[in-house]
Amino acid sequence: MIQGLTGWHLVLVLAIILLLFGAPRLPALARSVGQSMKIFRSEVKTDPAKDDETATTVDATEAPAAKKTES
């Protein structure tokens, strides 16, 4: 599907984007996309210490539910 695309297709898509958003708004649009990606990457990073805390918290919350009452 993408194999048939050429450089002219890319130029055409960029021209349409320029017409839709206008030249003055493109830098602001690019800046907001960059900030969104930066936030997304910082949220995706995992901290092993936090993973260990989460694992112990899950174990602690599951333990009372697993206890059986004696009759």
The domains of the chain are located at 23-59
Where does the pLDDT of residue 21 fall: very low under 50, low under 70, confident under 90, or very high at 90 and above? confident
| pTM recorded for the entire structure | 0.40
pLDDT mean across residues, the chain = 75
Checking if the pLDDT of 53 tops 60, the result is no
5: phi then psi, degrees, rounded to nearest 5: -80, 140
Two tokens, residue 69:
């009452």
Look-up of token digits 């004696």: 70
CB atoms within 10 A of CB 64: 7
